[in-house]
Amino acid sequence: MLGEGILKGMTQTARNFLGSYHDPKRMTTVEFPEDKIPAMENARNFPFLVFDGTDPVQGLRCVACQICEKECPPKCIFIEKDTTKKPDYIGKLQFQPKTFDIDVSVCMSCQICVEVCPFDAIKMDTRFELSTDDRFGQLLLKKRDLAKPNEYYHQVHPTEATEVDERLAAEKAKADAKAKAAAAAPKPAAAPAKTPAEKV
Amino acid sequence: MDTLIHIFSGIVTLLWRVVTDQPDQKAELLQALPQAISPLVNVILSISPILMIFPGLFALTTWLERKGLGRIQNRLGPNRTGPFGLFQPVADGLKMLTKEDIIPRNADQVIHFLAPITLVIPTFLGFAVLPMGRHLVPLNMDAGLLFFFAMGASTELSIFMAGWGSRNKYSLVGAMRAISQMISYEIPLIISSVTVVMLTGSLSLVNIVAHQSGWLGGIIPRWNVLTPWGFAGFVLFLIASLAEANRSPFDIPEAESELIAGHLTEYSGFKYALFFLAEYLGLFAMAGLSTTLFLGGWNAPFEFLDFVPSYIWFFSKLVGLVLLFIWIRGTVPRLRVDQLLNFAWKFMLPMALINLVVAAIWHYTSVWVFPASLILRWLFCAALILIPYFALGKFISNAGHFAPRTYRYAE
**pLDDT at position A195 over 80:** no
> Under a CB-based contact definition with an 8 Å cutoff, are residues A36 and A30 in contact?
yes
- pLDDT reported for residue A199: 47
Cβ under 8 Å to B: A residues 14-43: 14, 16-17, 19-21, 26-29, 31
Contact B296, B307 (CB under 8 A): no
Is the Cβ pair A12, B331 closer than 8 Å? Answer: yes
CA-nearest residue to A29 within chain B is: B75
Which DSSP state fits B332? P
How high is the pLDDT of residue B398? 65
Does the distance separating the beta carbons of B76 and A9 come in below 8 Å?
no
Which of chain B's residues have a Cβ under 8 Å away from the Cβ of A28? 74-75
pLDDT at position B401 over 70? no
Question: pLDDT exceeding 90 applies to what percent of chain B?
Answer: 16
Closest CA to B179 of B194, B161, B167: B161
Which residues are bridge partners to A100 per DSSP?
A79
Nearest CA in chain B to A25: B74
pLDDT tens digits along B17-47? 877 777 777 777 777 777 788 788 888 888 8
Q: What is the ipTM of this complex?
A: 0.76
* Cβ within 8 Å of residue B333, ≥6 positions away: B249
With CB atoms and an 8 Å threshold, state whether A1 touches B390.
Answer: yes
Minimal C-alpha gap between B71 and chain A (Å): 5
Residues B87-133 have pLDDT tens digits of 988 988 888 888 888 888 888 889 888 899 999 999 888 888 888 88
Average of pLDDT values for B256-267? 81
Does position B305 have pLDDT exceeding 90, yes or no?
no
Other beta carbons within 10 angstroms of residue B212's beta carbon come to 25
Question: CB B71 to CB A20 under 8 A?
Answer: yes
Query: How far is it, in rounded angstroms, from Cα B81 to Cα A48?
Result: 37
| Short-list B78, B86, B84, B15, CA closest to B52 | B15
Q: Answer yes or no: are the C-beta atoms of A168 and A120 closer than 8 Å.
A: yes
Between CA B286 and CA A162 the distance in angstroms is 65
pLDDT(B369) > 80: no
pLDDT at A194 over 70: no
Helix axes B169-200, B144-165, angle to 10 degrees: 170
Q: How far is A129 from chain B (nearest CA, A)?
A: 19
CB A113 within 8 A of CB A65: no
Q: Would you kindly state where each structural domain of chain B is located, as residue ranges?
A: 2-38, 99-398
> In Å, what is the CA distance from A118 to each residue of A142, A168, B363?
21, 11, 87
Q: What is the pLDDT of residue A200?
A: 46
Residue B406 confidence (pLDDT) above 90:
no
- Compute CA distances A86 → A27, A58, A61, whole Å: 54, 8, 10
For the question of whether the overall pTM of this predicted structure is more than 0.80, the answer is: no
The answer to whether A153 and A161 are in contact (CB under 8 A) is yes
What is the CATH code for A57-128+136-179? 3.30.70.20
Does residue A17 surpass a pLDDT of 80? yes
Which whole-number Å values give the CA distances from A41 to A37, A46, A79, A185, in the listed order?
A: 12, 14, 28, 46
Give the residue from B75, B389, B394, B395 with the most A CB atoms within 10 Å of its CB, the best one to mutate.
B75
> Do the chains contact at B392 and A2, CB–CB below 8 Å?
yes
Residue-range domain boundaries for chain A: 57-128+136-179
**A128-148 residue pLDDT tens:** 888 888 888 888 888 888 889
Whether A1 and chain B come into contact, CB under 8 Å, resolves to: yes
Indicate yes or no: CB of A9 within 8 angstroms of CB of B332. yes
Amino acid A29: pLDDT: 84
Residue A192: CB atoms within 10 A of its CB come to 6
Query: According to DSSP H, which parts of chain A are helical?
Result: 4-22, 67-71, 112-116, 143-146, 150-156, 158-184, 196-199
Whether A7 contacts chain B with CB within 8 A: no
Tell me the pLDDT of chain A averaged across its residues. Answer: 85
Asked if B396's CB is within 8 angstroms of A1's CB, the reply is no
Residues of B in contact with A26 (CB under 8 A): 74
Mapping DSSP onto H, E and C, the string for A152-193 reads HHHHHCHHHHHHHHHHHHHHHHHHHHHHHHHHHCCCCCCCCC
Strands A46-51 and A147-149: parallel
Which residue among A2, A10, A29 places its CB closest to the CB of B331?
A10
With cut-offs at 50, 70 and 90, classify the pLDDT of residue A193: low
pLDDT for A59: 84
